[in-house]
């Protein structure tokens, strides 16, 4: 849920995007902070272009992701995958084009913290857990708390928060490790813990950049199970180089090349696409 401060800030701002962002004036009943997925889509990138010194990292990129989908994005190095995530999370502003979260929330008008607040969580490749704290405490610290009060471990945990942590511990398969310092976890376990920390923020859309890089085969398998269990309740956009992993988990695959969508469809469909074969295999 969008927090009230963000909502008030949006209301305060001028211009048509305010009504878009709040959904107040377009006649569609949208609660503040509730992403409107009434048309099925949760993420809409429309003709997004981003240039760095004249080089087009994204070139007229158009992409729609449905709510609850597990979308995989593949493409050679430099295709624009990370830049795409930077645009969605507000780190990079598009030169042209639009990015919407649901029907009404214009992401290009929001700051990075505001975008995190409205329910878009991003996981970078390197896990950033608090190594001296236990797994449980890490989740506790990640809790979406009142921002005016710095979250502390001394503040009493209410039972709802505690239940949420226990549920997430089960989801990320770290319940047996709850009392261990996070620094003692394996690389894969740290990655899952960080996903758990994202889940504590109650996101609706999760962006994961190369989440199984550096994992053992067993950890990769368990990650596939984890992502499959999250899909439906959450929308996942996964950028990954591991094709076996992508083949296993993807509903739909988007192939990016030179900042543009080259192909989209099931893994089997994109693997048969002539242009995809050329780009990936250099034939
Ligand atoms: P991918 O994640 O698909 O490997 P990126 O989105 O990281 O690709 O990069 C796309 C292109 O944009 C690359 O050629 C990269 O060098 C360039 N690029 C990305 N970020 C910047 C930046 N901040 N400044 C200049 N060039 C950048
Ligand atoms: Mg990248």
Span 146-166, pLDDT tens digits: 555 555 655 667 788 899 999
Kindly list the protein residues that place their beta carbon closer than 5 angstroms to ligand 2, a single-atom ion.
81-82
Residue with tokens 């261990």: 180
What would the pLDDT profile of 83-113 be if each residue is shown by its tens digit? Answer: 999 999 999 999 999 999 999 899 999 999 9
Q: How far is CA 142 from CA 12, 33, 158, in A?
A: 29, 20, 15
CATH pick for 4-281 out of 3.30.70.141, 3.40.50.300, 3.30.565.10, 3.30.70.330: 3.40.50.300
Atom of ligand 1 nearest to the CA of 58: 10
Residues 232, 3: Cα–Cα separation, whole Å: 24
52 lines ligand 1 (CB under 6 A): yes
When pLDDT is cut at 50, 70 and 90, the band that residue 143 belongs to is confident
Confidence of residue 34 (pLDDT cuts 50, 70, 90): confident
Average pLDDT over residues 201-216: 94
Q: Is the CB of 82 under 6 A from ligand 1?
A: yes
Give the pLDDT of residue 198.
95
The residue contributing the CA closest to ligand 1 atom 21 is 52
Q: What is the pLDDT of residues 46-78, one digit of tens each?
A: 999 999 999 999 999 999 999 999 999 999 999
Q: 77: CA distance to ligand 1 center in Å?
A: 9
CA distances from residue 5 to 35, 111, 146, 208 in whole angstroms, order as listed: 16, 13, 11, 27
Q: Whose CA is nearest to atom 17 of ligand 1?
A: 57
Pocket test for ligand 1, best of 45, 50, 52, 86 (most atoms within 8 A of CB): 52
Mean per-residue pLDDT over the chain, rounded: 87
Ligand 1: does its nearest atom lie under 6 Å from the Cβ of 54? no
Is 211 near ligand 1, meaning CB less than 6 Å away? Answer: no
Hey, where are the domains in the chain?
A: 4-281
Find out whether the beta carbon of 138 lies less than 6 Å from any atom of ligand 1.
no
Is the CB of residue 257 below 6 angstroms from any atom belonging to ligand 1? no
Report the alpha-carbon angle 175-180-182, nearest 5: 100
Pairing of strands 205-209, 120-123: parallel
Give the distance (Å) from ligand 1 centre to CA of residue 78.
6
Give pLDDT, residue 4: 55
Q: Which two tokens stand for residue 161?
A: 């928060």
Predicted confidence (pLDDT) at residue 27 exceeds the cutoff of 80: no
Which tens digits make up the pLDDT trace of 214-223?
Answer: 999 999 999 9
What is the whole-number distance in angstroms between the Cα of residue 28 and the centre of ligand 1?
38
Mean pLDDT within 210-215 = 93
pTM: 0.86
């Amino acid at each position: 849920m969008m927090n009230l401060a963000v909502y008030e800030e949006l209301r305060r701002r001028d211009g048509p995007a305010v009504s878009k962002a709040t959904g107040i004036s377009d006649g569609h009943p949208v609660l503040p902070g509730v992403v409107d997925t009434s048309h099925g889509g949760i993420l809409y990138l429309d003709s997004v272009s981003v240039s760095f010194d004249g080089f087009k990292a994204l070139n007229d990129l158009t992409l729609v992701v449905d709510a609850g989908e597990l979308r995989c994005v593949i493409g050679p190095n430099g295709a624009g995958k990370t830049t795409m995530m930077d645009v969605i999370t507000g780190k990079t502003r598009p030169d042209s084009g639009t990015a919407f979260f649901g029907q009404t929330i214009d992401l290009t008008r929001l700051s990075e913290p505001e975008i995190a607040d409205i329910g878009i969580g991003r996981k970078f490749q390197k896990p950033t857990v608090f190594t001296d704290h236990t797994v449980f405490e890490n989740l506790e610290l990640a809790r979406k708390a009142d921002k005016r009060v710095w979250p502390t471990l001394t503040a009493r945990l209410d039972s709802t928060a505690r239940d949420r942590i226990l549920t997430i511990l089960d989801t990320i398969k770290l319940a047996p490790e709850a009392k261990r310092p996070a620094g003692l976890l394996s690389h894969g376990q740290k990655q899952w813990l960080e996903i758990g920390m994202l889940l504590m923020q109650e996101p609706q859309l999760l962006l994961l950049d190369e989440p199984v890089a550096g994992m053992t085969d067993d950890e990769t398998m368990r990650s596939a199970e984890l992502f499959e269990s999250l899909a439906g309740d959450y929308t996942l956009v996964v950028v990954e180089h591991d094709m076996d992993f992508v083949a296993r988990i993807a509903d739909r695959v988007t192939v990016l090349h030179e900042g543009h969508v080259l192909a989209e469809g099931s893994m089997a469909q994109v693997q048969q696409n002539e242009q995809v074969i050329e780009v990936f295999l250099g034939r």
